[in-house]
């Protein structure tokens, strides 16, 4: 990610990418597989493995997915507040994430962590205007 992520975007058209947005809930879990099984049973669904052994997914009725992940040891998330967040996803690259993040910041979000490249795409954690967790995620597919 480049330092230009915090620079203002002068062309408002760039803030509205063409790619559609999907919505998911993201839940930090000490045991993502077990918690995925719990939620899957509650919604009569089957959990499925995600991007790694630390990531599981449950399809939610009328929505996309509940994404469950074990937080990194370098960035632990204690039980309780901030373990559940809104995840907005779309296709794109780090430039698309930069533009999307600028839009969110202009609308009142605050940066919680620096943007980063992960194996599954580029992501940035923000706080919405009320302090709730918001994950913006862009990936090639």
The CATH number for 104's domain is: 3.10.180.10
DSSP 17-35: -SS--EEEEEEE-SSHHHH
69 within 8 A of 28, measured Cβ to Cβ: yes
The domain in which residue 62 lies consists of 17-139
Distance CA(70)–CA(54), nearest Å, equals 5
Can you tell me which residue has the tokens 């058209």?
A: 13
pLDDT for 45-85, tens place per residue?
999 999 899 999 999 888 889 998 988 878 777 666 567 88
Per-residue pLDDT at 81: 57
Q: What is the pTM of this model?
A: 0.63
Question: Which residue pairs, CB below 8 angstroms and at least 24 apart, start in 12-16?
Answer: 14/99, 15/99, 15/100, 15/102, 15/103, 15/106, 16/103
C-alpha to C-alpha distances, 29 to 9, 10, 22, 80, nearest whole angstrom? 36, 39, 22, 10
Count of domains for the chain? 1
Which residue blocks in the chain are alpha helix, DSSP H?
Answer: 32-42, 94-106
Q: Is residue 47, in this structure, part of any structural domain at all?
A: yes
Q: Is residue 12, in this structure, part of any structural domain at all?
A: no
Q: Is residue 7, in this structure, part of any structural domain at all?
A: no
pLDDT for 78-109, tens place per residue?
666 567 888 888 899 999 999 999 999 999 89
Q: Is residue 109, in this structure, part of any structural domain at all?
A: yes
Distance CA(50)–CA(41), nearest Å, equals 18
């Amino acid at each position: 990610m480049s330092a230009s992520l915090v620079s203002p975007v002068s062309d408002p058209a760039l803030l509205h990418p063409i790619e559609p947005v999907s919505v998911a809930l993201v839940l930090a879990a000490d045991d993502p597989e077990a918690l995925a099984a719990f939620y899957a049973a509650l919604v009569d669904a089957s959990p499925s493995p995600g991007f790694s052994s630390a990531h599981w997914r449950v399809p939610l009725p009328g929505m996309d997915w509940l994404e469950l992940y074990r937080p990194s040891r370098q960035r632990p998330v204690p039980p309780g507040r901030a373990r559940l967040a809104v995840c907005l996803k779309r296709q794109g690259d780090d430039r698309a994430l930069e533009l999307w993040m600028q839009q969110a910041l202009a609308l009142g979000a605050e940066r919680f962590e620096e943007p980063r490249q992960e194996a599954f795409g580029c992501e940035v954690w923000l706080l919405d205007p009320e302090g709730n967790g918001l994950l913006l995620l862009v990936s090639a597919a």
